[in-house]
């Protein structure tokens, strides 16, 4: 199983999970669909679907291209109505805390409610090749604890230290307050990992780092130190083997 990062920032968010048979599950619609097609060598039949967390443009901007390409996109009802696509035949409305399977039953998905300034899902995704992966984006904190998680794909947007330091980081107070109430700080992420059983965890991938209010090297160090796990930053182009038993 591979995790591919297409983009992970306020400019656009898109990821894919691709198993050894070529089945893939897409996360978010934040890059032009042609980028996805190229990476998958135009093997669109292998795409089991796409999960969309919420309606903000950096996650949903290219949803129409995905739907037009025959890709089924799953999302909450508020996201669908907000985008005006609730009746589209390739939109699948999903509900929090229910279990869904992909078209070929390869991936199992449970959406969970996150804490953002608009309704937003996180997802627990299961596949026999990777175990359980948690995807959390655009959330102030996680209202849930998770168990048996082998991989975390999780937002580390800003540092409370950087955002409040004078002369560095976001100085516009409106932006600052919005970020503080709707995105995950590195400090809250440390608390999240402390509250969860991390014994099965193999990889932590930090996503959605702010351009101005984060520090990549520092963030990796902080999370490595507090969890003792492999920590990566979701740089565009990253391909990570997240198999449970890599060769």
The reply on whether position 138 binds Zn ion by CB under 5 A is yes
Under rule CB under 5 A, which residues in 70-129 are in contact with Zn ion?
none
Stretch touching Zn ion by CB under 5 A, among 13-21, 138-146, 148-156, 225-233? 138-146
In the sheet that 91-93 helps form, which strands lie side by side, from edge to edge?
Answer: 91-93, 73-75, 47-51, 24-27, 12-18, 2-9, 239-241
| Binding footprint of Zn ion, residue count (CB under 5 A) | 2
Stretch touching Zn ion by CB under 5 A, among 44-52, 136-144, 166-174, 227-235? 136-144
Rounded to an integer, what distance in angstroms lies between the CA atom of residue 188 and that of residue 159? 9
19/138 with CB nearer Zn ion: 138
Stretch touching Zn ion by CB under 5 A, among 35-43, 106-114, 134-142, 169-177? 134-142
Q: Any idea which residue has 């991390």 for tokens?
A: 198
Rounded to an integer, what distance in angstroms lies between the CA atom of residue 109 and that of residue 60? 19
Under rule CB under 5 A, which residues in 17-76 are in contact with Zn ion?
56
DSSP annotation of 204 reads E
Residues linked to residue 108 through DSSP beta bridges, in sequence order: 101, 126
Name the residue with the smallest CB distance to Zn ion. 56
Rounded to an integer, what distance in angstroms lies between the CA atom of residue 141 and that of residue 143? 6
56/72 with CB nearer Zn ion: 56
Q: How far is the CB of 7 from Zn ion (least distance, A)?
A: 14
118/147 with CB nearer Zn ion: 118
Residue 163 near residue 179, CB atoms below 8 Å: yes
Binding site for Zn ion (CB under 5 A): 56, 138
């Amino acid at each position: 199983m591979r995790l591919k990062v297409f983009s992970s920032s306020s400019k656009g968010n898109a990821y894919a999970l691709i198993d050894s048979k070529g089945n893939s599950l897409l996360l978010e619609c934040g890059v032009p669909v042609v980028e996805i097609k190229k990476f998958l060598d135009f093997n669109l039949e292998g795409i089991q679907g796409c999960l969309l967390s919420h309606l903000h443009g950096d996650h949903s901007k290219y949803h129409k291209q995905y739907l037009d390409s025959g890709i089924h996109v799953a999302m909450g009802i508020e996201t669908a109505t907000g985008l005006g696509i609730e009746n589209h035949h390739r939109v699948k409305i999903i509900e929090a805390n229910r279990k869904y399977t992909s078209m070929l039953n390869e991936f199992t998905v449970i959406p969970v409610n996150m804490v953002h300034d608009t309704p937003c899902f996180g997802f627990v995704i299961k596949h026999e090749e990777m175990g359980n992966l948690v995807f959390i984006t655009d959330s102030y904190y996680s209202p849930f604890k998770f168990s048996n998680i082998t991989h975390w794909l999780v937002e580390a947007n800003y540092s409370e230290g950087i955002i409040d330091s004078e002369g560095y980081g976001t100085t516009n107070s409106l932006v600052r307050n919005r970020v503080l109430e709707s995105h995950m700080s590195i400090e809250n992420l440390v608390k999240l990992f402390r509250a969860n059983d991390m014994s099965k965890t193999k990889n932590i991938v930090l996503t959605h780092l702010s351009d101005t209010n984060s520090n990549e090297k520092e963030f990796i160090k902080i999370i490595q130190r507090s969890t003792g796990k492999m920590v990566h930053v979701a740089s565009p182009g990253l391909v990570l083997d997240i198999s449970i038993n890599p060769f």
